[in-house]
Copies of this chain bind each other. A is one copy, B any other.
Amino acid sequence: MSKQLQQKIPNTDPNGVSVIQNHPHCSSLNPAVAAGLQQIPQLVPVSPRSGGKATPPSKMKKTMMDKDSDEYRQRRERNNLAVKKSRMRSKQKAQDTQQRVNELKEENERLEAKIKLLSKELSVLKDLFLEHAHNLADNVQPPASGGGPGDICNNGANGSH
């Protein structure tokens, strides 16, 4: 899950034994045949079309698509390309998503830290308030000189609650 080194020259196989399902000469490759469902030989109606080009799927698809056709080969190649591209993008996206997760996690931690900090600050201030209130209540005459004020300023640090 993170190793990816493979380099092949498209269309060529390292072994020579490629996966290429080209079998252009394998006349009968349809399982239907094997199943005994023979029906149509390799007769191609040329294509009832205006342009003498080549019409792959015009009416009867399920028959055979002449694999020998240049048309066919070309379309296959184009599709293979598209597939490759699509898959690359797909993987890229997955990767990006994963990274997004990491980023969000980081940011989350940062935010939580900040919250912690703010909470502490708040807590300190509140304590200060309470203390002050007590002082006022306890004696009308604050620490004229009795080193009182100092305490009040005892902010954070121990901040204990």
A-side interface residues toward B, CB under 8 Å? 13, 15-18, 20-26, 28-32, 34-35, 37, 62, 94, 97-98, 100-101, 104-105, 107-108, 111-112, 114-115, 118-119, 121-122, 125-126, 128-129, 142-145, 148-149, 152-153, 155-156, 159
10 A-B pairs in the complex with CB atoms less than 8 angstroms apart: A17-B62, A22-B34, A23-B28, A101-B104, A111-B112, A111-B115, A115-B118, A118-B122, A149-B152, A152-B153
Complex Cα gap A138–B42 (Å): 106
Q: Closest B residue to A37 by CB, please name it.
A: B16
- Identify the closest chain B residue to A90 (Cβ): B94
B155 near A145: Cβ-Cβ < 8 Å:
no
Please name all residues of chain B whose beta carbon is closer than 8 Å to the beta carbon of A15 when the two chains form the complex.
Answer: 62
Known: A17-B31, A21-B29, A155-B156. 16 other contacts (CB 8 A): A16-B35, A16-B62, A23-B26, A26-B29, A97-B97, A104-B108, A108-B108, A125-B126, A125-B129, A128-B129, A128-B153, A144-B144, A145-B149, A149-B149, A152-B153, A155-B155
